[in-house]
Amino acid sequence: MTPPCDKDAPRASARISWPVMVPLLVGILAQSLAVSMINTALPKLAHDLGIAPADQSWVVNIYPLAVGAAIVPAARWGDRSGRRRALVAGMTVFALLSAVAPVLPAPGLLAARLGLGIAGALILANVVSTIGAVFKGHARTMANGLWVAVFGAANTIGPLVGGYLTDHWGWQWVFWICVPIAAIGALLTRATVPNTRASVRPAWHPGWVMVAALGLGVTVYGVQRLPFVPVVGAVVGLAGAVVLTVFLRAQRRLRDPLLRVDLFGDRGFSAAVATIVVSAGVTLGAIYLTSLHLQNDRGWSASATGLVLLWQAIATTIGGIVAPTLARIDRRGLVLPAALILQAAGLAWAARDPAAIGPALLLIGAGFGVIGTLGTTALFVAAPADAVSQVGVVQEVAFALGSGLGIAVLAALAASSGYSGSLAAAAVGVTVTAVVVAQIGNPLAPVSST
C-alpha cells in the first residue's frame, strides 16, 4: 500500500474501521441523493424558475458532466494535499452550494449544480482512494461493498424522497436536505479519517489536467445527447474521444502521469473495467427504459413506478453486502461473470414477461451490487500499491461512461425494436461479456485467499 506521508495516517488495515467508514458513507449519501432527487423535483423547479423545456435537461445533466470533467484533478489534489483535506473541502463546498442554490435565479442554480458536480468529484475520487489506502484484503472488499450499497440505494430511493419533499415541502428541500448531511460528513471526516496521500508528491501538469477535463467533459456530454440528438451526440462524443486519445498518448511519455495507461496492460484490470462499464450500462439503461415504459406505455403514475424501482435499490444494497462473502468463497474467479449472468437473466426475464419487471430488476440490481463492489476491488488487486488514486479515477469514469452509453444504446434499440427487444439484445451482450471475463482468470485471487 502507498506509504502515508502524514503522521495520523495508519498502516493499511485488514479490519473495517467504522470511524473511518461512516464519514465516507455520509459523503457518498449526500452526493448520491443530489443526483437522484433532482429528477422528480425538476417539473416544479423549472416552472417556478421559468426554465424553458429545451433547457430543463441541463439542470440534471450538468452535475454528471462536472463530475466527469473534474474527476482527474480531484484525485490529483488528494494525492498532493491529502485525501482527507480534499474530502472535507468537497463536503463543505457541497453543503454551502446546497444551501444557496434554491434561492438563486435559474442561471445561478445551474452554476451551483456545476459546482456541486465538482464537489461531488472530490468526494467520489477521494472516498475510493481513501478506501484503497486505509484498508486491505477482505476489509477493502467490505468497504467497497458498503459504499456501493449506499450509492445504489440512494440513487434509486432518491426519486421517492425527492417527490415527497417536492409535494409536501417544496422543491427547494431537495437541495436543503443535503446541507446537514454534507456538513456532518465534513465534520466527521475531519475528526476521524486519516489524511493519506501519495508517498511522493506528484506534479500537477496543469495543461494536461485541462486536456483531461475537456476530453472527459466533452465525451460525457456527447454520450448524454446520444438518445435525444443522435448525430450531435455522436459527433461530440467522437471529438471527446479524440481529445482523450491525445491525453492518453501523452501520459505514456510523462514520468509522473495523471493516469497510468500501463495499468490497462493487466488483463485483470481491463476485465474489471469492462465489467463495470457493461454492468453500469445495463443497470441504468434498464431503469431508464422501465421508467418510461411503465409511465408512457402502461399508464403508471410516477409514484407507482418509483415503488417498482425500489426492487433494484434493495437488490443493489444486498448485492454490495454479500459480495465480500462471495469473494472469500470463490476460488475459480467466477463471481464477476456469474454476476453478469445474473443480470443477463434479469434482462431476459423482463424482455420475455414485462409484467415481471419487479423480480427482474431484483436480479439486475443484485448483479450490479456485486460487480460494483468486486469490480472495484479487482481494480485495486491489479493496480500497484502506489496507484490507489488511479483506481478511483478509472472506476468513476467507467461508471459514468457505462451509465451514459447504456442509456444511449438501450434507448436506440428501444426505438427500433421496442422495450422487450432492447432488453433481449442487452441480455445477449451481457452474456457475451460474461464469457469473455470468465476466460481472463481470477482477478480477485488475493482477496479470495484472504
Query: What is the DSSP secondary structure assignment for residue 4, as one 8-state letter?
Result: P
Whether 343 and 282 have beta carbons less than 8 Å apart is answered as yes
> Cα separation of 360 and 366, whole Å?
10
Q: Is the pLDDT of residue 13 over 50?
A: yes
Tell me the per-residue pLDDT of 349-387, one tens digit each, with 9 for 90 and over.
Answer: 999 998 889 999 999 999 999 999 999 888 888 887 777
Q: Please tell me the total number of residues recorded for the chain in this structure.
A: 450
At 222, the amino acid letter reads G
Residue 135 has phi, psi (to 5 degrees) of -115, 160
Q: 134-186, pLDDT tens digit by residue? A: 988 888 888 988 988 898 778 778 878 888 888 889 999 999 999 999 999 99
Give me the amino acid identity at 301: S
Q: What is the pLDDT of residue 74?
A: 92
Q: What is the pTM of this model?
A: 0.81
What is the C-alpha separation between 259 and 261, in angstroms, rounded?
A: 6
Task: Determine contact, residues 434/163, Cβ cutoff 8 Å.
Answer: no
Nearest CA to 232 among 223, 242, 241? Answer: 223
CA 285 to centroid of chain Cα atoms: 14
Span 81-103, average pLDDT? 97
Partners of 13 in the β-ladder: 135
Measured CA to CA, the distance from residue 279 to residue 286 in angstroms comes to 11
The mean predicted confidence, pLDDT, of the chain is: 87
